[in-house]
Chains A and B, each alone.
Chain A
Amino acid sequence: MKALGVLLALGACTEPGGADVAVDLTGQFELTTVRTFNGEGAIAGIDTDGAGGLWVAYSAPTDYYLPDDVRLVHLDASGAKLKELAFRDEFVDVKGIAFDGRAVWMNHSGGDRADFVRKIDVTTGAVIGSFGTEVGVQDIDVFDGELRYSVAWDQVVGLDARSGGQKWRAKDYLETGGAQRGVASMEDRRVWVSTLDDRIYLLDPKGHILGAGHHTLLENSEWGVDVGMYLAWDGHFVIAATGNVISWLVPG
């Protein structure tokens, strides 16, 4: 109930498609947590639904010899569940989802050269497409007809969402040694990327670091531990999911 009160209080400032934040996002800045939401389980990906709500992927292990259970849940702006779709992970972990307005892209990344993304019709739950992917994709995003991958070793890759063909690759802007995780695009082509520490970085459309936002979502002892750090952007807030907690961060 308390959480609902917070959600309602924030409702006025979480309208979809809002203009880009006006604050200066160059150099060092703070990312302040203004809202949190406890998920139903281990979160394997998030994205905004374009209407103030979220799509959330949960993954739960089953027997070692069986594929894990994956649930794709649609929450409205108040956190109420609107829809749930059930899948199996096909023996490759789910790491990141992206919503393109009609379908959810689900990334499967296990590091055993069997990685792929699949496109899921959110009305029927049917798989309506797939692409094989490179090793190391940790989160995905869709923006302006592009499917974007965050690759662990500090790369962001832009693909044509229709063919899966690579259009561009940004790299060498960080040296985390494999700790890059989340990706989310802003309306003006700038890109947020998260790492397993206390920073979320903002890249310009040319792949250069513009700024770094400091946050406190991870304890220092968790740095380098793969607890996930999935990202979304709703026009005002950086939304980050780690473990089973979703946090709304305001930059400035």
Chain B
Amino acid sequence: MKRMVWVLALASGCVELDPEYVPEEPGPPPQMMRTKTMAGELPVVGIDSDRAGGLWIAYEKQKGGYYVNDEIILAHVDAHGAKVAEFKLSDTYAEVLGIAFDGQAVWVNYRSATVSGGIAMPYVRAIDVTSGLETARYEVEMDISDLEVDDARHELLLSSEHEGVIALDLATGTETWRMPGAQSAIALTDDGKLWLASRFWAVLELRDAQKNPIATYTEDVTDDHHVSSYRLFLAWDPTRHQVIASAENQISWLAIRGEAP
């Protein structure tokens, strides 16, 4: 128990950043500016806001070789980065990419899995954050790389690398709409705007509630030369009104440069 407390204590905290951090970087500064950063405790496979300034984070922990099921850890950290809850799940031999919190459950995206006799279809499942039990499961399309929940429309949004954004009714799993695109990650603001992370460039696109493009902004949590190789996840922090990006196990709160946070 004492050791666990130590781990919790030391793995906590965030860094509030000065707008201009050193050292100098070549080229113009990105239009999206990091205002706060923290590292995941382990390799990150999904994030979402807890709607109170904190985060739900999914970690992947290797437990052995190829034939051993890895462990997925759902951790809840508060606004200061301190861990307040944790659930351990199996990855069921599938790659986990992307989570979303609906206020009661964390939805976890399981990509295609190799099983006896072939490839299992990918699925999403909801884990109740009080009990840790699965409360829903829907089969989904291939190549889903991030999730988001739309509270107002009661929808689960799937970010598909090839099919754009696909919306499912949270209660039934029935598709309600889709929007073409090729983004890697998505986040929905509290006023219905959609942030989309490009799969090909270090750019975030903002769309209005009707899905019309508003603007694009360069960022530096990824690199133009290798964007497609990043595991990138987005979330929206309603308390700071900033988009949160997780790339390569580094979690960053981003504000548009020149706009006061």
Hey, which chain B residues are within 8 Å of A129, CB to CB?
6-7, 10-11, 41
Q: Is A210 an interface residue (CB 8 A)?
A: no
Q: Is A126 an interface residue (CB 8 A)?
A: yes
Q: Could you tell me if A65 and B248 are in contact, using CB atoms closer than 8 angstroms?
A: no
Q: Could you tell me if B42 and A160 are in contact, using CB atoms closer than 8 angstroms?
A: no
| Known contacts A126-B3, A133-B249, A135-B248; A163/B60 CB under 8 A | no
Q: Could you tell me if A128 and B10 are in contact, using CB atoms closer than 8 angstroms?
A: yes
Contact with A along B1-19 (1 / 0, CB 8 A): 0010011001111110100
Q: Could you tell me if B11 and A130 are in contact, using CB atoms closer than 8 angstroms?
A: yes
Q: How far is the CB of B43 from chain A (nearest CB, A)?
A: 4
How far is A133 from B249 in the complex, measured between Cα atoms in Å?
Answer: 6
Q: How far is the CB of A98 from chain B (nearest CB, A)?
A: 15
Q: Is A115 an interface residue (CB 8 A)?
A: yes
With both beta carbons as reference points, the residue of chain A lying nearest to B10 in the complex is identified as A129
Q: How far is the CB of A86 from chain B (nearest CB, A)?
A: 17
Hey, which chain A residues are within 8 Å of B117, CB to CB?
none
Hey, which chain B residues are within 8 Å of A167, CB to CB?
15, 17, 21, 37
How far is A164 from B41 in the complex, measured between Cα atoms in Å?
Answer: 9
Q: Could you tell me if B22 and A168 are in contact, using CB atoms closer than 8 angstroms?
A: yes
How far is A116 from B248 in the complex, measured between Cα atoms in Å?
Answer: 11
Hey, which chain B residues are within 8 Å of A165, CB to CB?
13-15, 17, 36-39, 250-252
Q: Could you tell me if A163 and B39 are in contact, using CB atoms closer than 8 angstroms?
A: yes
Q: Could you tell me if A164 and B60 are in contact, using CB atoms closer than 8 angstroms?
A: no
How far is A131 from B60 in the complex, measured between Cα atoms in Å?
Answer: 12
Contact with B along A107-119 (1 / 0, CB 8 A): 0000001111001
| Known contacts A128-B7, A128-B10, A160-B15; A166/B43 CB under 8 A | no
Q: Which of A91, A115, A130 is packed against the most chain B CB atoms within 10 Å?
A: A130
Q: Could you tell me if A132 and B38 are in contact, using CB atoms closer than 8 angstroms?
A: no
Hey, which chain B residues are within 8 Å of A160, CB to CB?
13, 15, 37
How far is A134 from B222 in the complex, measured between Cα atoms in Å?
Answer: 11
With both beta carbons as reference points, the residue of chain B lying nearest to A204 in the complex is identified as B23
Q: How many A-B residue pairs have CB under 8 A?
A: 116
Q: Could you tell me if B13 and A205 are in contact, using CB atoms closer than 8 angstroms?
A: no
With both beta carbons as reference points, the residue of chain A lying nearest to B59 in the complex is identified as A132
Q: Could you tell me if A134 and B41 are in contact, using CB atoms closer than 8 angstroms?
A: no
Q: Could you tell me if A128 and B13 are in contact, using CB atoms closer than 8 angstroms?
A: no
Q: How far is the CB of B38 from chain A (nearest CB, A)?
A: 4
Hey, which chain A residues are within 8 Å of B3, CB to CB?
126-128
Q: Which of A64, A119, A132 contacts B43 (CB 8 A)?
A: A132
Within 8 A of A (CB), among B34-50: 34, 36-44
With both beta carbons as reference points, the residue of chain A lying nearest to B17 in the complex is identified as A167
| Known contacts A163-B15, A167-B21; A92/B7 CB under 8 A | no
A residues near B (Cβ < 8 Å) are 64-65, 90-92, 113-116, 119, 126-135, 159-160, 162-172, 205-208
What are 18 residue pairs bridging A and B, where the CB atoms are less than 8 Å apart in the complex? Answer: A65-B65, A92-B62, A114-B60, A129-B6, A130-B7, A130-B11, A131-B40, A132-B40, A159-B39, A160-B13, A160-B37, A164-B250, A165-B37, A166-B15, A166-B250, A205-B23, A206-B23, A206-B24
